[in-house]
Every structure is written in C-alpha cells, then in structure tokens.
Amino acid sequence: MAPTDVPTRELYIGGKWVAPQSNKRLPVICPFTEEQIGTIPAGGAPEVKAAVSAATKAFYNGSWSKLTGAERASYLRKIAEKVKEKKDLLARLETLDNGKPISEAAWDIDDVAGCFEYYADLAEKQDKQLETPVELPMAEFTSVIRHEPLGPVALISSFNYPMLIATWKIAPALAAGCTVVSKPSEMTSLTCLEMAAIMEEVGLPPGVFNLVTGTGPDAGAPLVSSSGLAKISFTGSTTTGRRIMAEAAKQGIPTCMELGGKSCLIVFDDANVDDAVEWAMFGCFWTNGQICSATSRLLVQERIAEKFYARLKQRAESIKIGDPLDEECRLGPVVAESQHSKITAFIKEAKSEGATLLTGGGRPKHLPKGYFVEPTVFINVKPEMRLWREEVFGPVLASATFSTEEEAVTIANSSEFGLAGAVITEDATRCQRVAEALECGIVWKNCSQPCFCNVPWGGKKASGFGRELGTYGLSSYQNIKQITTYVSKDRWDWYPSKL
C-alpha cells in the first residue's frame, strides 16, 4: 500500500469532523519501514470538552438511550456490515500502523464485526428482559429489576489490538444505550478513525459516538478528569490504569480496568511435546508478543524439559519473520521504536542477571530496518529476575522447570498480576484442578490465547478488575435499577392512623 492510501481524517465530535484547535497532527510511523505514512489529529482539552459535551447532550436528548434494544441492534448490525465490506482496507491499515501480520489483522477485523453482531443480539434480547420480576418474601410488594443505560462513557484503549479492543468497549456500550467518547492509543489510531467514518455512514445520531485521538497527557488526561461521565473503561498499562483510577475516584465514578499481565503456561510431562510447544509459541509470539494475556512465563515439568526446549528452539527459529503484509508472515515488527528499546533492555538485563538464552535475543539478520525482535526464549529464569516478574510486551518467553503440581501452581500464582493462565496435560482431573487453583480471570486448558466475545474477559490483582465481553460486558454499561411497588389494598399503618 502506498503512503497516500492512508486516509487523513479529523476528530469526530457531535457527528462532525473537527480539526483540533491547535491544528497539530501526530506522525504515523510504519513499524516495518520506519517511515511516516500519515498523520492523525492531536486532540487536546478543548476537543475533549466538546466531545464529552456532545456525548452528554446526545445521552439526555434520548436519541439513543430511549431507543429500543432492537432499534439499537439494527445500527450495530449495519456497523458490522460496513466493517465486513471494508475488511481489506481495515486489516491493511492495522498492519501498517501496528506491525501485526496481515493474517492476524484480518482475524481481528472479523472479530470486530462479530463483536458488533454479538451485542446486537444481546440488545434485542434485552427488550424481553427489560423488567425482570423478582419474588419477594412479602405479598404486599412486587419488585422488578430494570436495566438502563449508565450514561455518557469514556473508553480508552491500547495499541495492541487497536480496533478490536476499542470495539470490546464501544459495542456493548452502544448496545446498552450509552453514548461514547473513544480515545484510542496515539500509536495506532488509524482504524478507530475509520470506525468513526463507519458510524457516520450508518447514520448514528450525532454525539452518540465521538472519537478524540491524541496523546495520553494531552487527550487522555483531560478526558478522565471530565465531569459528567458515568464510567471510564480503560485498557492499557497498570501504571496508567492506577493514575486513571485516582482521577475517577475524584469524580466518584466506576471504572473497568483491563491492565497488564505476566501469565503462566504450565506444561506437565504427560503432554504431547509438539502440541505443547506450538501453544507455548502461540501464547507468547502471537501479535508480535504484544498481548496482555501472553503466557510469557513458561513452566515445564523437569522430565520432559530437555526434549521440550530442543523442539522449542528448533520451531522458534523457523518462525517466518518479515514484511507483515506478507500473508505467510508469522512475526512482524513491534509497534514503535520506544517499545523496541524497552524490549531490548529487558533482554540485555536478563542476560546480565544470568538467565540462559535458548534462542533469539537480537534483530533478525535479514531485517536491518523495522522494529524487529527475534522470537526469544530464556531458560533457567529465576523468580527474582525482572524478566520473570515484569511484563515485557514483546516476543520474549521466560522459562523455568518444576517438579510437582503444587510447586507449579505456587510459582504461577506468585505474581503481582492475575490476568490469565494455561495448563497442558493429558490428565483431565489434574487439568481441572490446576485451572481452579490459578489466581486469574482467564484460564486455558490444553491451549493458550483463544478469545471469544461470548465469554467474559478480565483479571484480578494488578491486572485490573471488572469484566468485558459476554453478558457481563453489556451489564457493565447498565444501571441496574430495582422498582418496588406497594400492591396491597390495606393501609401500611406503621404509624396507626386511627388515633
């Protein structure tokens, strides 16, 4: 794709394309060529104010919040259709912007369409369950539970699945009847700008969806300190998440926090080594290693460790690395130079701390340009090493061995994070036992990473709280209201009326 094919767009506020008052734009750098391929508008406090005000006005005028679920669903289905129509363009923009292999980007875009359809179905179902009766212990009263939209919400997302993670928030929020201000990562905003174009094309009422691009300090910070928001949903690093929680606490509004992780894959010695190696690689190298739920800590049972590592080295070295627009590519560059430097610093430190480099650790020789990091595996990694404790967010796998199930579970749970975990064994009883023992929000049995919009997503401990996706994703954008009615013909008479 030639650079000129990257659309130049403005901010989308109140149903209009608006240039930032500062007239500033941020460069879009392709992580493969390291060249500028476009620009995005650098929104700031005035645009955030206008976007929050547009979302607030649209929420209270009822143009969206008062529609039936079925009416909202028809818009969500139109959005899904447009996403499908534009799949090739969206996938290419995602790859050019983020560096993920085109086959993975295409998968993301399918999931974007699928997520809008899923929440369209749920929005329709809600019409039938708008008021759910609840049985009470007193015949004088009846009660119903009503699901109402929360209000205008701020949705801030990360760079690793730019359009998909934004959708995980936007689709349920719109399905619930909320109005939205979306703030994607400044590193990868191209597909979210196209999302705004789609909202315009399907004729979403003005102000229902607003998009402000810009940096965290200039656009994100004023957004999270805005008054009038009903909720902030955030996906990003634990450090930024904690800052946002503090701001939300000042406003007294709820947050959903999807933060970092350092998840563990446990491989028992009865596992098929080839299958387990495949999941170990997919668990850490997919999306160029930039996955919050990456099983970036690998525990291998001692008896098979030698065979396992030999096979892992061989297969990791055969991964096709290169131009992410090549359909066969399985590992592209990481998103930006800053991330590349962060990852290489981790690798350097792991070496100096005494971890054994099994494979990788540098730049692929055939790729002198681009933010590439070879698929890297360290073994003999000790629990006190930074590589074992901290999120690298790159294709770097840290491994250690274990002898007993109890030891494996203890090591897996000895982390400040609690997003995901995975276990591979032929023993179904053990598999279930370990799944229950892992302290996290997502567990994969005999695999790692598959993700479906039908099931809840989220973590515990420093990985955050709240859940996205599934029915939980929808209810997290709803005010759950009880309406209780006094139905008795008799007077209540707590204070006797006949004096």
Residues in touch with ligand NAD (CB under 6 A)? 156-160, 165, 183-186, 215-217, 220-221, 224, 235-237, 240, 243-244, 258-261, 292, 391, 393, 419, 459, 463-464
Cα–Cα distance between 211 and 11 in angstroms, integer?
6
Closer Cβ to ligand NAD, 290 or 376, answer by number: 290
Cα–Cα distance between 429 and 435 in angstroms, integer?
10
For residues 386 and 287, the answer to whether their CB atoms sit within 8 Å is no
Closer Cβ to ligand NAD, 41 or 260, answer by number: 260
Closer Cβ to ligand NAD, 158 or 191, answer by number: 158
Q: How far is the CB of 237 from ligand NAD (least distance, A)?
A: 3
Burial of 327 (0-12, 13-18, 19+ CB in 10 A): exposed
Annotated active-site residue 292? The verdict is: yes
Closer Cβ to ligand NAD, 259 or 400, answer by number: 259
The tokens describing 139, both together, are 């015949």
Q: How far is the CB of 365 from ligand NAD (least distance, A)?
A: 28
The tokens describing 405, both together, are 């199930």
Give, in order, the Cα–Cα distances in Å from 103 to each of 106, 328, 332: 5, 8, 11
Helices (H), 286-421: 302-316, 337-353, 386-389, 405-413
Q: Which of 104, 258, 374, 391 is catalytic?
A: 258
Closer Cβ to ligand NAD, 167 or 463, answer by number: 463
- Residue 182 forms beta bridges with which residues? 155, 211
Closer Cβ to ligand NAD, 234 or 308, answer by number: 234
Give, in order, the Cα–Cα distances in Å from 426 to each of 336, 433, 448, 491: 40, 13, 15, 66
Cβ partners under 8 Å of residue 170, min gap 6: 155, 180, 182, 195, 209
Q: How far is the CB of 99 from ligand NAD (least distance, A)?
A: 14
Closer Cβ to ligand NAD, 452 or 486, answer by number: 452
Cβ partners under 8 Å of residue 11, min gap 6: 17, 18, 19, 20, 41, 43, 47, 51, 211, 212, 213
Closer Cβ to ligand NAD, 41 or 69, answer by number: 41
Q: How far is the CB of 459 from ligand NAD (least distance, A)?
A: 6
Q: How far is the CB of 241 from ligand NAD (least distance, A)?
A: 7
C-alpha torsion 191→37→45→200, nearest 10 = -40
Q: Which of 292, 329, 431, 453 is catalytic?
A: 292
Q: How far is the CB of 314 from ligand NAD (least distance, A)?
A: 29
The tokens describing 423, both together, are 């276990």
Cα–Cα distance between 390 and 385 in angstroms, integer?
9
The tokens describing 9, both together, are 């767009």
Cα–Cα distance between 188 and 37 in angstroms, integer?
12
C-alpha torsion 375→380→381→383, nearest 10 = 150
Q: How far is the CB of 277 from ligand NAD (least distance, A)?
A: 24
Closer Cβ to ligand NAD, 102 or 419, answer by number: 419
Q: How far is the CB of 93 from ligand NAD (least distance, A)?
A: 17
DSSP string for residues in 29-80: E-TTT-SEEEEEE---HHHHHHHHHHHHHHHHTTTTTTS-HHHHHHHHHHHH
At 490 the three-state DSSP class reads: coil
- Residue 321 forms beta bridges with which residues? 331
Q: How far is the CB of 214 from ligand NAD (least distance, A)?
A: 8
Cα–Cα distance between 373 and 497 in angstroms, integer?
81
Nearest to 149 by CA among 64, 57, 252: 64
**Catalytic (active-site) positions:** 258, 292
